[in-house]
Structure 1
Amino acid sequence: MKKQDLSRRSFLKFGAAGLAAIPVVSMGISTAAAAERLDESAPEAQALNYKHDTTQVDHPAHSPDQKCINCLLYTDPSATEWGACAVFPNKLVAANGWCTAYVARG
């Protein structure tokens, strides 16, 4: 009976360690997937008039001071060149880019 308790204890210990490792592994996978830059010609980018360079935007809702880096949806304002955006999951957008989903960071 003691041997069975040790086996159960070992199983629970290794099971807990495995569960604890899942977030760490999934974080690495999502970071790797997010490394791909959004292509301006992608359907999701075109649907929201996304451009890498805000100075190249010709849209009535656009203002020259609007850039991804100062948008509320740009999830890492410390990323000064390319960063993640809540609108485009697993893609990076240009910090100086723009799209119609722009929301001023306030």
Structure 2
Amino acid sequence: MTDRDNNLSRRRFLKLGSYGLLAVPAVAGLGWSTAAQAMERLSEDDPAAQALNYVHDASAAAGHPAYEEGQNCLNCLLYTDASAMDWGPCTVFPNLLVAAEGWCTAWVSR
């Protein structure tokens, strides 16, 4: 095998490898949205939700001493998919979706 052949196969390997790396986030993103769609929405009646004063609409939490104007799940650090504009996953409530406009006492600034 000549040097020219080695360079071509090395280039081809690097080229195909880079395509593979570019495909990983796209495929992972497709899997996540499918998994997120399969999850149930958190109910305000859920015992864990009640323990953290969770509400679907942050304006309903205005009377709570820990609530500050402008806080909601979408701008919380624990809301793990900031691109989910209606309902999304939260680390506090595993395997459940919370309302992006919701709020609970576990809110942490993003």
Q: TM-score, normalised by structure 1?
A: 0.68
Letter in 2 for 1:44: A
Report the counterpart of residue 7 of structure 2 in structure 1: none
Q: 1:34 to 1:88 in 2, by over 3 A?
A: farther
Give the paired residue count: 79
Structure 1 residue 64: Cα displacement: 1.8
Report the counterpart of residue 54 of structure 2 in structure 1: 50
Aligned structure 1 segments of 4 or more residues deviating by more than 2 angstroms: none
**Could you list the runs of 5+ residues in structure 1 that have no partner in the other structure?**
1-23
**Could you list the runs of 5+ residues in structure 2 that have no partner in the other structure?**
1-27
Separation in 2, partners of 1:90, 1:33? 11
1:31 aligned onto 2:35: yes
Deviations 1:8-38 (A, max 9, x none): xxxxxxxxxxxxxxxx9xx68x926852000
Separation in 1, partners of 2:73, 2:49? 13
Report the counterpart of residue 60 of structure 1 in structure 2: 65
Between the two proteins, what is the percent identity of the paired residues? Answer: 59
Q: Contact 1:34/1:90 (CA < 8 Å) preserved in 2? A: no
- CA RMSD in angstroms comes to 2.1
**What aligned pairs does 1:5-20 form with structure 2 within 5 A after superposition?**
none
